[in-house]
Amino acid sequence: MKYQDFRSRSFFDHTEVLAFGHGLLLEDAPEGFGARLPIPPMLMVDQITLIESHGARGRIEADRKVRLDDWFFQCHFSGDPVQPGCLGVDAVWQLIGFYCAWIGGLGTGRALGCGEIDFSGQIRPHDEVVRYEIDIVRFSNLPKSGSCIAIGDARVLVDSDPIYSIQRAKVGLFRDITYPDYPHPSKKSRGGRMSS
C-alpha cells in the first residue's frame, strides 16, 4: 500500500493490521516512519473499523474476536480464566499509536500513561467480540524533536456491553529510538528515561 493511500483510508482489515505490525504494509514509507503495532500474541486488535480526523481531534474504532484458546486464558487464572484488564488498556495504547502514524506522525510509538481507568466488567473465554471506541481529544506535533503525542478517551465493550472506561490515554511517536539489532548489545539496547 502506498503511504498516501494509508493516510486516506478509514478502515484496515486483519491482513493489513498484521502487515503493519510486521512493517510490511507500506511500500513507500517516508524516512523516519518507524511505527508498528505489536505482533501476535500481544496484538490486541483484529481490525480497525473506523479511523478519522477532525483537526486536532479524531476517532478510532476497532475490534477483536475473543478466542477460547487465547494465551492469557491459559494462565490468568487457573480455574478462573479472565482477560487481564491491562491488555484492554494496552489495546487502547496500540490504537492511539496507530492513529499517530496514520495522521502523519513519524517515529516509533511508546505508551506514555493514562488518567483514570475504571473496570466495571470482564472478558471471559466464551464472549465473542471486544470493541474499542476511542475519541482522540488532542493530537500535537512537537516540532523541536520531530515527535508527536495523541491523547484519547476510550470505552472498551464486550458483546456491546461497556466494561472499561479509560481517560486521557497518551501515546507518543519518537524519533531515533528503535533497537533493530536485538538481541545484540548496542547503543539502544538499554532503557531508561526518555526525553522529548
Catalytic choice (14, 22, 54, 76): 76
7 close to 51: Cβ distance less than 8 angstroms: no
22 belongs to the catalytic site:
no
Residue 71, Ramachandran bin (φ over 0: left; ψ between -120 and 50: alpha; else beta): alpha
49 close to 63: Cβ distance less than 8 angstroms: yes
d(CA 170, CA 37): 16
Q: Which residues pair with 165 in a beta bridge?
A: 118, 155
- Three cell numbers at 79? 480455574
168 close to 154: Cβ distance less than 8 angstroms: no
Backbone angles phi, psi at 161, to 5 degrees: -95, 125
Provide the annotated active-site residues.
Answer: 76
